[in-house]
Chains A and B, each alone.
Chain A
Amino acid sequence: MNRLLLYFALSTVLLLSIGEISFAGGLKGKVRVDGSSTVFPITEAVAEEFQKKNRRVRVTVGISGTGGGFKKFSAGQTDINDASRPIKDSERKKAKDNGVGFIELPVAYDGLSVVINPNNDFVDYLTVTELRKIWQPGSTVKYWSDVRPEWPKRPITLYGPGADSGTFDYFTKTINGKSQASRPDFTASEDDNVLVMGVSGDKNALGYFGYAYYRENQAKLKVVPIDGGTGPITPSEKTINDGSYRPLSRPIFIYISKPGSKRPEVKAFVRFYLAQASELVKEVGYISLPDKSYQLASDQFEKWLKGSLISGNSSDMEIKKVALK
């Protein structure tokens, strides 16, 4: 009996130690990231490349949604929040109450894409008015023919991000006029992968999510050109970059917390992020900011670290001005 215990203990210790490869020196510590599933692919790519070079740093990236992520961020539980919309006043206040200073850094452009199933051959474009008709709270649209009479009387099945998602906040604000105002009967998920699966498998489907998720799954989806008043525009690198894909082009951000930024591994991670962003953003499928925007963001970050920049208000105005030019 005692021998059994001894063997058990020894084998446990042995197993646990096999899993460890020790590297001499280098950065060590934790970086906690959470938030938007739209921004997630970029952060995941950065985390992967960063950890290859700094094996002793542990980066975790969650997908609680922009809103869910901010709740944790404001409570000081995460170091970085991925956000597909700017921070709300209520979230800003909560962070201030908890003593969590922060800086907002834009990392890419996204053209929020409305997608349909590839077998859908009658939808050529959608106007903003039509989108609102479909998605507003209390909408009675059940069939495609309710949107445009010449379309067939087939049922519409809707897919969209859930209520914690920044994409959801942004879409409802832009199309329906009020953030979080939406009809409730759609398949909701914070995980955009689920939405891709849904739309690609259902020929009556209509969904929306970040551009990268469309580009990654182009073979399975068909993107709908959106008419924002100047004719139907298809989202693409060009149209998102020059702003003609309206109104659904938007910058996406990461927020760094002041307490988190005091740790060297977090500093290194953010610097790495900004340095690699241009390349990784493109690889993931979003639209990168102009190089000088990343440079400016980098400079602002360094200034903020040294304490010569007030967090929050002034910085985001600066960078956003450059980014949105």
Chain B
Amino acid sequence: MFQRKWAKHWREESVKAGLFLCATVSVLTTFAIVWILIREAGVFFQDVAVSDFLFGTQWTPLFDPRSFGVLPLVCGTFLIVAGTALIALPAGLATSIYLSEYASSQTRSILKPVLEVLAGIPTVVYGYFALTFVTPLLRAVFPEVQIFNAASASIVVGIMVLPMVASLCDDTLRAVPASLRQGAYAVGATPVEVTLGVVIPSSLSGIMAAFVLALSRAIGETMAVTLAAGATPKMTMDPFVGIQTMTAYIVQVSLGDTPAGGIAYQTIFAVSALLFVITLTMNIFSSHLLRKFREVYE
């Protein structure tokens, strides 16, 4: 009798231990990422001053004369993200308003799956779409658009990110209790006044969190920009020329397999580290927004 209880106990504990090990994989992953980035970027920063890297405006790590200022890549990423924000944020918010305030449940049942499909399309497909459809379209309207340009890529990334914004905002908007809306209707507000005056202000934190999350996704986007935006690092605000983002640079260097050692190898870690820090900050900021400013409804 005692024997069986012992066996039962040990089985329980070993299963628990096994599951605990599984859970540690995710923690180990984070530590691995951080450790590798620090270690390899550390090697890089022994040769290149941090201030040169962060504030330099010439990115030529592979040519003579070598220069390691990362700003052109950051500028390229920023240009793409700005374009994405211009498209995805207002459109995503408007879509979510439509979904939560205006749409019938029948419409919702069509629209929501469509948005899910849009979100599930792989990024390389969007890159292809940018290259073969959006760029020719842009060039038909604006002939001076180059074949690799930032506008194409940001339009397409905007489409990719829009469902994410729409779905997150939709959840937030629906969380606003009906009583607030009804109170506004009761004093004679029109639907748009209810939305803009009551619902949105009370779900502002959730909306902002969704925006930040979507932009963080756009920053990390790789394949669409690699295919469509080009490989020329430059400091420019012109959306019609080719640029290079941080992610596209990393892909360019790894086009085969990056051999170990050498300054080229180290640059991908420096740029990855920067990318990781930026997206991590934005993700933490986003969840912070959600927690600290969440309206408490009774």
Contacts and interface: CB of A to CB of B under 8 A. Distances in A.
B188 interface: no
Interface stretch (B13-21, B177-185, B255-263, B289-297): B255-263
A62 interface: yes
Contacts, number: 79
A201 B147 contact: yes
Contact of A187 (B58, B65, B242, B257): B242
B67 interface: yes
B64 A137 contact: yes
B69 to A, nearest CB: 11
B60 interface: yes
Given A163-B63, A184-B67, A187-B230, A64 B256 contact: yes
B281 interface: no
A182 B255 contact: no
A198 B147 contact: yes
Interface string A252-270: 0000000000000000000
Given A187-B231, A198-B147, A202-B147, A180 B64 contact: yes
Classify chain A's interface size.
20 to 34
Contacts of A201: 139, 146-148
A188 interface: yes
Given A187-B242, A201-B146, A202-B146, A182 B63 contact: yes
Interface string B258-270: 1100101000000
Classify chain B's interface size.
20 to 34
Contacts of B256: 34, 62-65, 68-69, 72, 190
At the interface, is chain B mostly helix, strand, loop or mixed? loop
Interface string A52-68: 00000000001111001
B109 interface: no
B259 A72 contact: yes
Contacts of B65: 137-138
B146 A185 contact: no
A197 B147 contact: yes
Interface string A192-222: 0010011011100000000000000000000
Contact of B255 (A137, A185, A191, A202): A191
A186 B62 CA distance: 12
Interface centre among A137, A188, A191 (most CB of B within 10 A): A188
Interface in B21-60: 58-60
Contacts of B252: 162, 188-190
Contact of B64 (A69, A178, A187): A178
B231 A185 contact: no
Given A62-B256, A62-B257, A182 B64 contact: yes
Interface centre among B146, B257, B259 (most CB of A within 10 A): B259
